[in-house]
Structure 1
Amino acid sequence: MSVQNSGSSMLSTATTSRPGVPVKSPMYRDHLLARLLRDRRAMIGLVILAIFVIVAIAAPLLAPGNPRASVVAGSEAPSLAHLLGTTAKGEDVLALLIWGSQSSLGIGFTVGALATLIGLLVGLVSAFFGRVVDDVLSVVTNIFLLIPGLPLLIILAAFLPPGPGTIVIVLVATGWAGSARVVRSQALSLRGKDYTDAAVVTGERALTIMFREMLPNMASIVMSTFLACVIFGIGAQAGLEFLGLGDVSAISWGTNLYWASIEGSLIRGTWWTFIPSGVAIALVAFALALINYAVDEITNPRLAGRTKRKDRRR
């Protein structure tokens, strides 16, 4: 999944306020938070994500010792002693899954934060200054959007030294353009608002206007962009490492899939060596997608109205 493909769904997100309640007011933010916590899909996503985050933090307690150590004979099926079985080299699959969550979630959220930050800066600057600045930044953004993502990922990862830092650089370099395009579209609509013009007339600095007047009104679009970038980061990291373009000596869900493929797990029928990591990636992406959908539905008046009508019919 890529940020570019999710841009069309995020373009529909719009931040609106109730009558008499400014968008930037704490009352409105509390109202959005309360509605998000009452949303069933959002709560399911938050619970699933929280479980994985807690497992990643508590990895030294849940699976002490070296997860790469051979504990028993290779390719043992799941049992009470080893709940998810062992790999061909005798490594405990559950320990690899638990420790792999640290790298996969850490890189995913790092990529999401950096790609969103770069896209936010480029989008705000492009929309606020316009003219030549907008033209130049739009050309750069379009170039990154037009370059095929997967070949660029493979080329960059193949020529840079393997490691988590390389994965982050490669994914951020290929993932910021989609978020920049989405942020720019929203910022252009805010640039013509009366409060933005009033701030310009009163002589406020450009950074103050962008981050104090415009950014608070883009909370929902920034949140949706961030979640989409995290999904992209986790999935793309797993894909690169599965192809052997990452640090195969590290422990992550992607390297677990890589070693399962190298050891011929699919041919040998040792499904327990690759299904757990695949399910973990799918569950985290599913949880983030649920939260993203809930944020979009709550902040988009059309989707919110459609949900209310469905509730009345029920």
Structure 2
Amino acid sequence: MSAQAQLRSPRAMAWERRRGAFAAFCREFARNRAGMIGVIFLIVIVLLAALAPVLAPASMLDVTKLVDAPRFAPPSWEHPLGTDHQGRELWVRMLWGAQVSLLVGFAATAMSMVIGTIVGIAAGHFSGWWGALLMRGIDFFLVLPSLILAIVLTSVLSRGVWTIVIAIGLTSWAGTARVVRSQTLSVESRDYVERARVLGAGHWHIIVKHLLPAVMPLVLANTTLTVGSAIIAESTLSFLGLGDTTVQSWGAILRNSMDVSAATSGYWWYVLVPGLAIVLVVLAFTLVGRAVENIVNPTLRNR
């Protein structure tokens, strides 16, 4: 071993290993064609949502300035995605709706992942009645219909985007917690964790230094899959009229199309455009999630 290697701190060596593992992960992911297609599509959608104020100023949604705009105009060169029942361009509403739908999807998933990871690690690490109590809580939220609970929460709380985020985040963490608990139990039985415990390591040291890094790859894979579910949940709640009616979202656009009976009146673009956008974005997140899962899961990687 060289003198330079001997002078390097354990922390520097750990960061070097992490950078190498991340580079290897990126190389493996780049070889997955479906995952790359999903990533490219999501990057385009995120950029369009971020540039919505530039591409489509908010004044284009002001119905008071659209007195002479045609209602229910079909897609054409003048109206690329058609217009709605108030004469607003559907592509403008879709751009602004992407902001809300993606915000809810990412924020609700982040809340769900944090709660699920904390509860899952605690349930797998602590034994006795603490672990049993946490496991019963996970089982309760697993059997409880999450959509019904989210509807109840959004009905009780004041309507708004963050209310939907809280409702989805508080009702969708149980699946992550169960996966994390299973992985935690597997890591707990490994020799290096037993050695750390024998040497006097406390709960905090074992959780932060050993358990959390071991479960993070599975949490990452589960995150990309959960974002799509969160977007569907947001669209469902907005479609049911439980969202904020003052903001644009893809679910709200579907709700408006139902209010004017677009599906039975021949205004097919009013239903097809937001519905297709939801399907494609969820499919893209699923492709990315499956690609990440194939890399971080040894069983799937070997297969």
Q: TM-score, normalised by structure 1?
A: 0.86
CA contact 2:218–2:297 (8 Å) conserved in 1: no
CA displacement, residues 94-140 of structure 1 (integer Å, 9 cap, x when unaligned): 00000000000011000111100100000111111122211010111
Tell me whether 1:228 sits opposite 2:229 in the alignment: no
In structure 2, what residue type is equivalent to 1:185? S
Could you tell me which residue of structure 2 aligns to residue 45 of structure 1?
A: 38
Please say which structure displays the higher CA radius of gyration.
2
Distance in structure 2 (CA, Å) of the matches to 1:267 and 1:134: 53
Q: What's the counterpart of residue 10 of structure 1?
A: none
Tell me if structure 1 keeps the 8 A contact 2:111–2:170.
no
Task: Give the root-mean-square deviation of aligned CA atoms.
Answer: 1.9
Residue in 1 that maps onto 2:59: 66
The 5 Å alignment of 1:240-259 reads 240-259=237-256
Q: Identify which range, 253-262 or 62-71, moves more after superposition.
A: 62-71
CA contact (8 A) 1:67 1:96 kept: no
The superposition leaves residues 278-312 of structure 1 with CA deviations (integer Å, 9 ceiling, x where unpaired) of 11111111111111111122233333333xxxxxx
SS at match of 1:66: helix
The answer to whether residue 53 in structure 2 is matched with residue 56 in structure 1 is no
Do the aligned partners of 2:221 and 2:289 also contact (CA within 8 Å) in 1? yes
Is 1:297 the counterpart of 2:290? The answer is no
- The one-letter code of the counterpart of 1:299 is V
In 1, the alpha carbon distance for the partners of 2:59 and 2:143 equals 43
Structure 2: tracts of 5 or more residues without a match: 1-13
Q: What is the alpha-carbon distance in structure 2 between the residues aligned to residue 158 and residue 65 of structure 1?
A: 29
- Tell me what 2:3 maps to: none
1:210 aligns with 2:207: yes
TM-score between the two structures when normalised by the length of structure 2: 0.89
Q: Which amino acid aligns with 2:162?
A: G
Partner AA of 2:149 in structure 1? L
Alignment-mate amino acid for residue 38 of structure 1: R
For residues 222 and 89 of structure 2, the distance between their equivalents in structure 1, rounded to whole angstroms, comes to 36
Q: Provide the rounded CA distance (Å) in 1 between the counterparts of 2:175 and 2:125.
A: 18
**Mean Cα displacement is larger for which, 99-108 or 228-237?**
228-237
Match among 136, 151, 154 for residue 157 of structure 1: 154
**Identity score, percent:** 35
Please state how far the C-alpha of 1:228 moved relative to its aligned partner: 2.3
Residue pairs, 1:270-309, within 5 angstroms: 270-306=267-303
Letter aligned with residue 78 of structure 2:
A
2:25 is aligned with 1:36: no
Tell me the distance in 1 between the aligned counterparts of 2:147 and 2:112.
Answer: 17
Higher relative contact order (CA 8 A, sep 6+): 1
Deviations 1:244-294 (A, max 9, x none): 111122101110111111111111111111211111111111111111111
Distance apart, 1:201 and its partner CA? 2.6
Report what 1:173 is aligned to: 170
Match of 1:86, SS state, is coil
CA deviations 1:30-61 (Å, max 9, x no partner) are 21221012211111110011011101111111
Per the alignment, do residues 66 and 212 of structure 1 end up closer, same or farther by CA in structure 2, a change over 3 Å counting?
farther
2:261 maps to 264
Alignment of 1:79-94 (within 5 A): 79-94=76-91
Structure 1 residue 25: deviation in Å? 4.2
Mapped to 1, the partners of 2:76 and 2:198 lie a distance apart of 71
CA deviations 1:161-211 (Å, max 9, x no partner) are 110111011111110111111111111100111111222233334223212
Match of 1:312 in 2: none
Aligned residues: 286
State the Cα distance separating 1:67 from its structure 2 match.
4.2
Give the Cα separation in 1 of the matches to 2:78 and 2:70: 13
Structure 1 CA distance for aligned equivalents of residues 183 and 250 of structure 2: 35
Structure 1 unaligned regions, length at least 5: 1-20, 307-314
SS at match of 2:59: coil
Q: Report if the CA contact (8 A) 2:84-2:270 is conserved.
A: yes
Contact 1:111 1:229 in 2 (8 A): no
